[in-house]
Amino acid sequence: MDKKYYWFSFSYEGKNQGVCSIEAESDSIALSRLWELKIAPKFDHIMGFELTEQEIELDVLISPEDMKKRGYKSSGE
């Protein structure tokens, strides 16, 4: 089975806490891997998306500030 890329975005009390990307065969495996890596910040909401290609480094949490430096914007901006 081909691996896919999953993008996870975390927010807490309405504020972006960062994003990460995981390579996995399915969304459930990607979520399991996320917990195994212990990279999820404190959050009360998580959104996940399947990507067609890798956009950011895998298996690390990237801060909102670093994402802005890379030219990404939060959906609330």
- pLDDT tens string 6-20: 999 999 999 999 999
3-class DSSP state for residue 60? coil
pTM above 0.75, yes or no: yes
Give the pLDDT score at 15. 93
Distance CA 46, CA 14 (A): 11
Domain boundaries, the chain: 4-69
Q: Is the pLDDT confidence value at 3 over 70?
A: yes
Report yes or no: 67 and 21 within 8 Å, Cβ to Cβ: no
- pLDDT tens string 21-37: 999 999 999 999 999 99
- pLDDT tens string 31-74: 999 999 999 999 999 999 999 899 999 999 999 999 999 998 87
The pair of three-digit structure tokens given for residue 40, joined into one six-digit string? 């999820």
